Amino acid sequence: MDSILWERPPVRLSISRSELHVWRVNLDNINYQLKHLISLLSPEEIKRSEHFMFERDQYRLQVTHSMKRLILAKYLDRNPQCLRFEFGSHGKPALDNLRNPLKVQFNISHSRDLILIAITVEDLIGIDIEYFDKNRSIEDLGEIIFSPTEKRYFAALSSQEEKKEAFFRCWTRKEAYLKAIGTGLTQDISKISVDLSEFSVQNWLQVPTLSKTENTQWKLFTLDMRNAYMIAIVATAFQCYLTGFDLNILHE
């Protein structure tokens, strides 16, 4: 698992097909911008945020979708409020093709106070972040998410710490993959197997139980967040270079 240098975003953004950009947003750093951010949201996005009971959850959704608009608008050189989105059959959001000449693709994940937004062009992308809760019980969950191959790998691990790390690697890698293909957790994830070993960035993701119609080669990127979070990004064979941007304020 590799660490990256989180950079301040450049004034002018550009991205090629060989690149993968990941944006990091910390909820605690942008309170003072909230009124401006809410003004960027569509009526539907505001309505969705109001469905949450707790103010913190409303705030997280508002920040997530306003930052999504700000970031995507910078790539497309458009007004954030003018962006339009469509949804796949399983609810995966995407930019309206008519307003997306660069074919920018994105995916979003959040956990606790962190939001991550992954960006590519032309090719599908999936990202997942999970807070590494060392006190979380994983035994019952492992029975649900592990494939038979993964159960054997898990059972061979000696320490509880190793088992928890393997569990979170499994969860994030599977969810990132399922988000990339656009199904999310609508299918039985125990029928998918991924490599649970810890390895470096830019490795091929081995998913031996894929559909027979699956032809795409998937590449796995993993990020180190000082042992606090487990992060997996699944991209295609075209993405070779990963850049992380730390977003407090985008250049105006």
Q: Residue 243's domain is classified under what CATH number?
A: 3.90.470.20
Looking at the chain, which runs of residues are DSSP E strands? 6-7, 19-26, 85-87, 93-95, 104-111, 114-121, 126-131, 203-204, 218-224, 229-236, 241-247
Mean pLDDT of all residues in 139-157 = 87
Report residue 141 as tokens.
């969950």
* Residues 246 and 149 sit within 8 Å (Cβ to Cβ): no
Instruction: Please check whether residue 19 lies inside any domain of the structure.
Output: yes
What is the model's pLDDT at position 215? 60
Whose tokens are 């990256």? That residue is 4
Whether 1 maps to a domain, the answer reads: no
Amino acid residing at 231: I
- The band of 208, judged by pLDDT with boundaries at 50, 70 and 90, is low
Whether residue 1 is predicted with pLDDT greater than 60 in this model: the reply is no
Calpha distance 249→14 (Å, rounded): 18
Phi first, then psi: give them for residue 79, nearest 5 degrees.
Answer: -70, 125
CB 22 within 8 A of CB 234: no
Q: Provide the domain limits for residue 99.
A: 6-247
Report yes or no on 226 lying in a domain.
yes
Residue 75 lies in a domain: yes
Q: Is residue 122 part of a domain?
A: yes
Reported confidence tier of residue 204, pLDDT bands at 50, 70, 90: low
- Cα-based torsion angle of the residue sequence 96, 98, 99, 104 in order, rounded to the nearest 10 degrees: 60
Which uninterrupted H or E stretch holds 175?
Answer: helix 160-181
pLDDT (tens digit per residue) in 26-47: 988 877 677 788 899 999 999 9
DSSP per residue over 180-229, as a string?
A: HHT-GGGS-GGG-----S---SSEE---TT--TT----EEEEEEE-TTSE
**H/E stretch holding 152:** helix 148-155
Number of independent structural domains in the chain:
1
Residue 205 confidence (pLDDT) above 70:
no
Of the chain, the percentage scoring pLDDT greater than 90 comes to 44
- pLDDT band at residue 252 using 50, 70 and 90 as cut-offs: very low
pLDDT at 202: 46
Highest mean pLDDT of the ranges 23-27, 191-195, 205-209:
23-27
Is residue 252, in this structure, part of any structural domain at all?
no
Residue of 44 and 251 predicted with greater confidence: 44
* pLDDT average, residue stretch 130-147: 83
pTM of the model: 0.90
DSSP bridge pairs for 86: 94
Confidence of residue 203 (pLDDT cuts 50, 70, 90): low
Residues 210-221 have a mean pLDDT of 68
Q: Minimum mean pLDDT among 6-10, 179-183, 204-208: which range?
A: 204-208
- Is the pLDDT reported for residue 165 higher than 80? yes
